[in-house]
C-alpha cells in the first residue's frame, strides 16, 4: 500500500521509498526526513475532497506532503496479534 492510500488515523510501517525517476530528489529528501524502513507512520489529516496536502506523523514530527510525494512511500499495516498473556 502507498502512504497516500492509508486511511486517516491508521498507523502503518514504512517498507521503502520508491524512486519516481533517476535522479529523484524528492525520494532522497523523504529519506533524509525520516521516511525509512520499519518506521511507524500515520496520516493525521487530509485536505477536503481528497486534495493536497495530507499531514502525516512520524514519531513526534508532522509533515505536510503532496499526494504524489506520499505515493512514493510504500507501507504495510502491522497485523501482529495482540499479546493475551496473563500478567
Q: What is the pLDDT along the chain (87 residues), one digit of tens a residue?
A: 999 999 999 999 999 999 988 888 999 999 999 999 999 999 999 998 878 999 999 989 999 999 999 999 999 998 754 455 555
**pLDDT given at position 51:** 84
For the chain, the residue count is 87
CATH fold for the domain made of 3-76: SH3 type barrels. (2.30.30)
Retrieve residue 38's grid coordinates: 520499519
**pLDDT given at position 85:** 52
The pTM of the full predicted model, rounded to 2 decimals, is 0.84
**pLDDT given at position 22:** 86
- CA triple 54-56-61, angle to 5 deg: 135
**pLDDT given at position 49:** 84
Q: Strand (E) positions, the chain?
A: 11-17, 40-46, 54-58, 61-65, 73-76
Each domain of the chain, given as residue ranges in start order, spans 3-76
Distance (Å, rounded) from C-alpha 75 to C-alpha 6?
Answer: 8
Amino acid at each position: 500500500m502507498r502512504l497516500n492510500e492509508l486511511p486517516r488515523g491508521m498507523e502503518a510501517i514504512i517498507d521503502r521509498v520508491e524512486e519516481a525517476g533517476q535522479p529523484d530528489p524528492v525520494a532522497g529528501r523523504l529519506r533524509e526526513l525520516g521516511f525509512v524502513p520499519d518506521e511507524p507512520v500515520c496520516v493525521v489529516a487530509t485536505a477536503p475532497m481528497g486534495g493536497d496536502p495530507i499531514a502525516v506523523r512520524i514519531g513526534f514530527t508532522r509533515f505536510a506532503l503532496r499526494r504524489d510525494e506520499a505515493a512514493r512511500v510504500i507501507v504495510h499495516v502491522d497485523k501482529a496479534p495482540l499479546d493475551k498473556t496473563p500478567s
